Amino acid sequence: MTKIRMTLNGAPVVREVEDRTSLADFLREECGLTATHLGCEHGACGACSVDVDGLLTRACLKFAVQCDGRTVTTLEGLNQDRVTEALRDAFHRAHALQCGFCTPGMLVTARDLLLRNPQPSEAEIRDALAGNICRCTGYAGIVHAIALAADELIRHPRSL
Amino acid sequence: MKPSPFTYRRATSVADAIVLLAVAPDETAAIAGGQSLGPLLNLRMTTAGTLIDLAAISELRESRDLGDAVFIGAGVTHAEIEDGKVPDPSHGFMRRAAAKIAYRAIRCHGTIGGSVAMADPAADWPCILLALNATARIAGPQGERRLAMDDLLVAAYETNLAAGEIILGFEIPKLDDTARAASSKINRKTGAFADSLAVAVRQGARSRVTLGAASIRARILPQTSAALAQGESLEALRPLVASDVAALLAAPDPYLQNLHATNVMRTLAEVLGA
């Protein structure tokens, strides 16, 4: 067991973890943050996407001990984030979720895309989503929603 | 889908990492971004008694312009290369190639040194750095040494790194002003590992064409490279590509032959402006 400290969704967290515990298991099992979903546990599905120090991260491919001293933000921590709010609203309007299992990873990944590229083309959106699998195959709605959110953020940069 | 138990140690410097790796070399693995090793550990395709984390070593994150070459630290991530945060010896080619590696979340953590040390036959950087004629700088218990990419790569998941050695970074010669470089990857979906990865660098006598995912390691295509260096046309290169590809395949296979030859021809068409 190793003692780790991190800033999690804005608050300091100190915990003892087993070295082999993934960041995803740490978030879900130790911290009760269940928006981070685990699909494949080997980096292929994107359901566990979170933000570590501003970097888009697969929580299944980081061990919690590797995040000692870092700042981790999960979907729960993006409640007041303006890009995430625009995306959430657009996902609702564009019917961009069916079962919802992939949705947290889609939102975190789409936010990362819009922060780097505020006006992505459809091809760029699809490229950015290549590592996020929706087993309901609802991609058309998801791609549409991200384009809607981008438009909304461009047209009303401060209203959200 | 959970790794077997291991002990985690975070190395604070290159010297510290070498000491930690030397304690029990057979049971110890170095981890940098962990984007390839992580899945292998999670799937229990590999195990480690101790993981030595190299990610906090600032020396491995340094890059600099050497005049006629660029040094890129082993701990530089694919995303940092994609975003142009390190010097570029290749007129933007490395940036474009980095953007085609896996997915952004992987690129944010996976490192150029880790990609080469892992030596997956389908990985991008071994094939690209081989085409760019890069030299690896390596540190270990016996001190530092330099090794050309062609001498570093051995086989699938096997390099000439000795026990306890780590890659410090790569010296990558700058491309000529008139050089052209291109890569082409064929994969089943965007971001998946390559079924075929071809890289062509055209710059006179220093021209080089490499192919990954076709055999146990990325290889230089000798006849194709020589003919490209001599300024041969795309059509003149076609039979040489076929011959080089055939020589790399473990057994004749019409599908793989066509797949790899077509992929190499795409890169040649691009660097020849055809």
Per DSSP, the residues of chain B read --PPP-EEEE--SHHHHHHHHHSSGGGEEEESS-TTHHHHHHTTSS--SEEEE-TT-GGGG-EEE-SSEEEEETT-BHHHHHTT-S--SSTTHHHHHHHTSS-HHHHTT-BHHHHHHHT-TT-HHHHHHHHTT-EEEEEETTEEEEEEHHHHEEETTEESPPTT-EEEEEEEEPPPTT-EEEEEEE-SSTTSPPSEEEEEEEBTBT-EEEEESSSSS-EE-HHHHHHHHTT--HHHHHHHHHHHHHHHSSS--HHHHHHHHHHHHHHHHHHTT-
Give the per-residue pLDDT at A159.
53
Q: What are the E-state strand segments in A32-134?
A: 49-52, 55-58, 71-73
The DSSP bridge partners found for residue B170 are B72, B136
Across A7-16, B7-16, B19-28, least confident range: B19-28
Once rounded to an integer, what is the mean pLDDT over residues A57-66? 98
pLDDT tens profile B65-97: 999 999 999 999 999 999 999 999 999 999 999
CB-based contact, B108 to chain A, within 8 Å: yes
Name residues 7-46 of chain B within 8 A of A (Cβ): 7-8, 10, 34-35, 38-39, 42-43
CA distance A39 to B40: 16
**B180 contact partners, CB below 8 Å, separation of at least 6:** B201, B202, B203, B270, B271, B272, B273
Classify residue A26 as left (phi > 0), alpha (psi -120 to 50) or beta. Answer: alpha
Q: Does domain B62-173 have CATH number 3.30.465.10?
A: yes
Once rounded to an integer, what is the mean pLDDT over residues B113-126? 98
Contacts B8 to A, Cβ<8 Å: 2, 19, 63, 65-66
Token match 């395709």: residue? Answer: B45
pLDDT tens profile B37-58: 999 999 999 999 999 999 999 9
Once rounded to an integer, what is the mean pLDDT over residues B131-139? 98
CA distance B256 to B70: 35
Q: How confident is the model at residue A158 (pLDDT cuts 50, 70, 90)?
A: low
Give the per-residue pLDDT at A156.
87
Name residues 1-30 of chain A within 8 A of B (Cβ): 2, 18-20, 22, 25
Is B242:B178 a contact under the CB 8 Å cutoff?
no
Of the candidate CATH numbers 3.40.50.300, 3.20.20.70, 3.40.980.10, 3.10.20.30, the domain formed by A2-77 belongs to: 3.10.20.30
What is the CA B17 to chain-centroid distance, rounded?
Answer: 22
Q: What are the E-state strand segments in chain A?
A: 2-8, 11-17, 49-52, 55-58, 71-73
Token match 């780790």: residue? Answer: A4
Q: How confident is the model at residue A47 (pLDDT cuts 50, 70, 90)?
A: very high
pLDDT reading at A160 higher than 50: no
Once rounded to an integer, what is the mean pLDDT over residues B131-148? 97
Min distance A55 CA to chain B CA atoms (Å):
6
Min distance B109 CA to chain A CA atoms (Å):
8
CA distance A153 to B254: 51
Phi, psi of B268 (to 5 degrees): -65, -40
Residue B67, Cβ density class (10 Å: 0-12 exposed, 13-18 middle, ≥19 buried): exposed
Contacts A68 to B, Cβ<8 Å: 10
- What residue in B sits closest to A109 (Cα-Cα)? B105
Hey, CA dihedral for A77, A48, B61, A19, is it positive or negative?
positive
Is A119:A148 a contact under the CB 8 Å cutoff?
no
3-state secondary structure of A101: coil
Question: Pick from B177, B124, B116: which is nearest to B151 by CA?
Answer: B116
Is B76:B184 a contact under the CB 8 Å cutoff?
no
Q: Do B189 and A130 touch (CB under 8 A)?
A: yes
Min distance B89 CA to chain A CA atoms (Å):
24
So what's the architecture of B194-271 in CATH?
2-Layer Sandwich (3.30)
Min distance B3 CA to chain A CA atoms (Å):
6
What's the residue count for chain B?
274
* Share of residues in chain B with pLDDT > 70 (%): 100
CB-based contact, A58 to chain B, within 8 Å: yes
CB-based contact, B191 to chain A, within 8 Å: yes
Name residues 50-79 of chain B within 8 A of A (Cβ): 51, 53, 55, 79
Give the per-residue pLDDT at B53.
98
Residue A131 has its nearest CB partner, among B51, B105, B109, at B105
CB-based contact, A139 to chain B, within 8 Å: no
Residue range(s) of every CATH 3.30.390.50 domain in chain B: 194-271
* Share of residues in chain A with pLDDT > 90 (%): 97
Is B256:B194 a contact under the CB 8 Å cutoff?
no
CA distance B136 to B124: 16
Phi, psi of A6 (to 5 degrees): -150, 160
CA distance B112 to A48: 24
Question: B23-27, long-range: CB within 8 Å, 24+ apart, which pairs?
Answer: B23/B50, B24/B49, B24/B50, B25/B163, B25/B164, B26/B163
Is A114:A71 a contact under the CB 8 Å cutoff?
no
- What residue in A sits closest to B11 (Cα-Cα)? A66
Other beta carbons within 10 angstroms of residue A121's beta carbon come to 11
- What residue in B sits closest to A47 (Cα-Cα)? B105
pLDDT tens profile B190-235: 999 999 999 999 999 999 999 999 999 999 999 999 999 999 999 9
Q: Do A19 and B190 touch (CB under 8 A)?
A: no
Name residues 200-259 of chain B within 8 A of A (Cβ): none
Give the per-residue pLDDT at A6.
98
Min distance A98 CA to chain B CA atoms (Å):
23
- Report how many Cβ contacts below 8 Å link chain A to chain B: 86
So what's the architecture of A80-155 in CATH?
Orthogonal Bundle (1.10)
Q: What is the pTM of this model?
A: 0.96
The topology (CATH level 3) of B7-52 is 3.30.43
Contacts A61 to B, Cβ<8 Å: 34-35, 38-39, 42, 106, 109
Give the per-residue pLDDT at B1.
76
**B23 contact partners, CB below 8 Å, separation of at least 6:** B50
Q: Do B34 and A61 touch (CB under 8 A)?
A: yes
Give which of A2, A26, A66 to mutate to test B binding, by max B Cβ within 10 Å: A66
pLDDT reading at A88 higher than 80: yes
Classify residue B40 as left (phi > 0), alpha (psi -120 to 50) or beta. Answer: alpha
Give the per-residue pLDDT at A80.
94
pLDDT tens profile B14-39: 999 999 999 888 899 999 999 999 99
